[in-house]
């Protein structure tokens, strides 16, 4: 994807195509690997910074980023107090050595609700998990939104707290606007190096 951004034909593409390429690369490679590669390219091809999109990418490269995963329970599935307790138990399980993926899989399989439908001749009830997830989410410090290319939407108070965390840290927080309780995990943090 880096090659696409630095190819001369990239400028024939629309700004949204370039933004999509940057977005995809950040989500697939993570901010650290992506920005390290971009920095290396700018050291070799400083003239690229004359182009507006590369100026925006350079500005973004000089801001802190975090790659976040999230598990959540909607208040329609469990009351907020029970959701908090369940997610706190997930944190305890991870502190005891279970991985993020294993904890999600275990709770997703064990916390299920009947949707009121049956399948097949045997009448097997259909159930869905009460635990959901999303991510990875890329957060950018974002001094000015029009200058950056990527920053996934999260509530402002969640963003601020997550950008202050270290890799591996978790944050359990209520999200009343979306009627859910969320357990975030910081997968990766990118802090620009001044050199």
User: Do 79 and 98 belong to one domain?
Assistant: yes
| Confidence at residue 95, expressed as pLDDT on a 0 to 100 scale | 96
177, 156 Cβ separation under 8 angstroms: no
Range(s) of the domain holding residue 32: 2-61
| Confidence at residue 10, expressed as pLDDT on a 0 to 100 scale | 53
| Confidence at residue 91, expressed as pLDDT on a 0 to 100 scale | 98
| Confidence at residue 89, expressed as pLDDT on a 0 to 100 scale | 98
Q: Rounded to whole angstroms, how far apart are CA atoms 100 and 20?
A: 28
Instruction: Output the six-digit token pair for 108.
Output: 């997703």
Per-residue pLDDT of the chain (195 residues; tens, 9 = 90+): 677 667 655 554 556 777 788 888 899 999 999 999 999 988 888 888 888 888 888 888 888 899 999 999 999 999 999 999 999 999 999 999 999 999 999 999 999 888 778 877 777 888 889 999 998 999 888 755 555 666 677 888 898 899 999 999 999 999 999 999 999 999 999 998 866
Residue 161 included in any domain: yes
User: Do 37 and 95 belong to one domain?
Assistant: no
User: Do 16 and 71 belong to one domain?
Assistant: no
| Confidence at residue 12, expressed as pLDDT on a 0 to 100 scale | 47
Last residue of a domain, one of 46, 61, 76: 61
User: Do 167 and 85 belong to one domain?
Assistant: yes
Q: Rounded to whole angstroms, how far apart are CA atoms 45 and 61?
A: 16
Last residue of a domain, one of 29, 46, 61: 61
C-beta atoms surrounding 158 within 10 Å: 19
What pTM, to 2 d.p., does this model score? 0.83
Q: Rounded to whole angstroms, how far apart are CA atoms 11 and 54?
A: 10
Instruction: Output the six-digit token pair for 105.
Output: 């899989």
The number of domains in the chain is: 2
Residue 195 included in any domain: no
In tens, the pLDDT along 8-55 reads: 555 545 567 777 888 888 999 999 999 999 999 888 888 888 888 888
| Confidence at residue 23, expressed as pLDDT on a 0 to 100 scale | 85
């Amino acid at each position: 994807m880096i090659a696409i951004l630095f190819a001369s034909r990239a400028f024939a593409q629309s700004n949204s195509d370039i933004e999509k390429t940057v977005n995809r690369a950040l989500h697939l490679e993570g901010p650290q690997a992506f920005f390290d590669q971009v920095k290396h390219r700018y050291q070799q091809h400083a003239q690229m910074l004359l182009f507006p999109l590369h100026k925006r990418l350079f500005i973004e490269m000089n801001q802190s980023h975090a790659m976040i995963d999230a598990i959540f329970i909607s208040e329609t599935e469990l009351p907020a107090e029970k959701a908090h307790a369940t997610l706190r138990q997930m944190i305890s399980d991870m502190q005891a050595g279970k991985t993020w993926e294993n904890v999600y899989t275990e709770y997703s399989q064990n916390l299920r609700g009947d949707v009121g439908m049956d399948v097949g001749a045997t009448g097997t009830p259909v159930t869905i998990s009460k635990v959901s997830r999303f991510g990875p989410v890329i957060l950018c410090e974002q001094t000015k939104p029009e200058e950056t290319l990527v920053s996934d939407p999260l509530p402002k108070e969640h963003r601020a707290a997550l950008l202050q965390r270290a890799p591996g840290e978790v944050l359990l927080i209520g999200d009343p606007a979306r009627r859910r309780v969320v357990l975030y995990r910081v997968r990766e943090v990118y802090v620009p190096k001044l050199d």
